[in-house]
Amino acid sequence: MESRQTRIVTIGGGTGHFTLLTGLKKYFTNISAVVSMADDGGSTGRLRDELGVLPPGDVRQCLVALSNTPKLLRDLMVYRFEKGDLKGHNFGNIFLSALEKITGDFEKGLEEATRILNVKNKVIPVSKDKMSLHVRLRNGRLLVGEKQLDQNKAVKKIGIKKVFLRPKARLNERVKQAVKKAHFIVIGPGDLYGSILPNLLVDGLAQAIKDSRAKIIYVCNLSNKKGQTDNFDLDDYAEFVNKYLQDRLDYVIYNVSRPAPALVKKYEKLEGKNSMVQFHPDKNPERSYKVIKANILKRSPARQNKNDAIAKTRSFIRHDGDKLAKVLVELSELNRKKIIKEII
């Protein structure tokens, strides 16, 4: 298939990035997964605090998604310990942290993990600098740490005014080169403040995307989060991201399928009424991006690991990786010849 020669850069973090990559690897063989390095929750946060390592969690999820090893090894990388001092820790996180210590460098350790897990594509940290996400609430209160977004009740009660990185982080040169050569750049799916912005806030990434000749695609969220994206619709999400990219979005992918009523009711108890993201075609007739409507919802609810300390904060309404990948294949085939001719 011609789409296998297409160079794709994905930008995100968390479960949404894992879902996207799981589907994409079936159709593309030149993927560069750019990963947020601001995670500090759960097992990842404990390892950062205790060992002084860079956050392994989101990188580990990308490696597992793109791995071509037997299922047993992939299961090992996501295994969580149930008892003892390691309770709640993820084996894959410990594995990556140990490789960082052995090699003396996070990216060198990542290279070894890529080889061991037989990953043919690339997983690239957005920055090699240590960083923390700072969250300014609407009342002026400052919270430190990406984990605060889901674990601090004040976020839902008061709401977010802005987020920023401290200290400032520099763009990984490998990311800059991947973005420059990309035919398509896919942003999301993932939490706006927890997965998307920690990447776009790294010095140089937003500008690199703006300067790229690639088609820029944003995968819109399925649902809103109280205190973060209350009552956001598709255009609110798209314009929020587009602001950082200086109106470079070409496509926004929107899910048209609705989750089971029981799941919607369960979600609204946590995040408030009307939590499912809506699309109003007539709201912004002059929007600069095209909206692609498709059924990309995973029908079965996500399972939660009882040994995951932050399981209750994870979304249980998710995209279907294979359905989403097929939409991206169609988009790439529509645009591929023209883009490749311009870039190569």
Domain boundaries, the chain: 2-343
**Which pLDDT score is estimated for 303?**
59
pLDDT, residue 308, reads 43
Assigned superfamily of 2-343: CofD-like domains (3.40.50.10680)
* Model pTM score: 0.91
**Residue 344, pLDDT score:** 47
Q: What is the mean pLDDT of each run of 10 residues along the chain (344 residues)?
A: 75 95 96 96 94 96 96 95 94 97 97 97 97 97 96 96 96 98 96 96 97 97 94 96 95 94 85 88 92 91 51 67 96 71 51
Q: What is the pLDDT of residue 1?
A: 39
Q: What is the β-pairing status of strands 160-166 and 142-144?
A: unpaired
The Cα–Cα gap between 17 and 185 comes to 13
Cis, peptide link before residue 261, omega less than 30° from 0? no
N-to-C CA span, the chain: 19
What letter represents residue 19's amino acid?
A: T
* d(C-alpha 336, C-alpha 178), whole Å: 17
Say what the pLDDT of residue 5 is: 80
H helix or E strand, kind and range, residue 98: helix 91-103
17-36 burial by CB neighbour count: b if 16+ within 10 A, else e? bbbbbbbbbebbbbbbbbbb
Burial of 61 per CB tally in 10 Å (0-12, 13-18, 19+): buried
Q: Across-strand partners of 162?
A: 136
8 A C-beta contact, residue 181 and residue 173: no
Encoded amino acid at 52, one letter:
G
CB 37 within 8 A of CB 126: yes
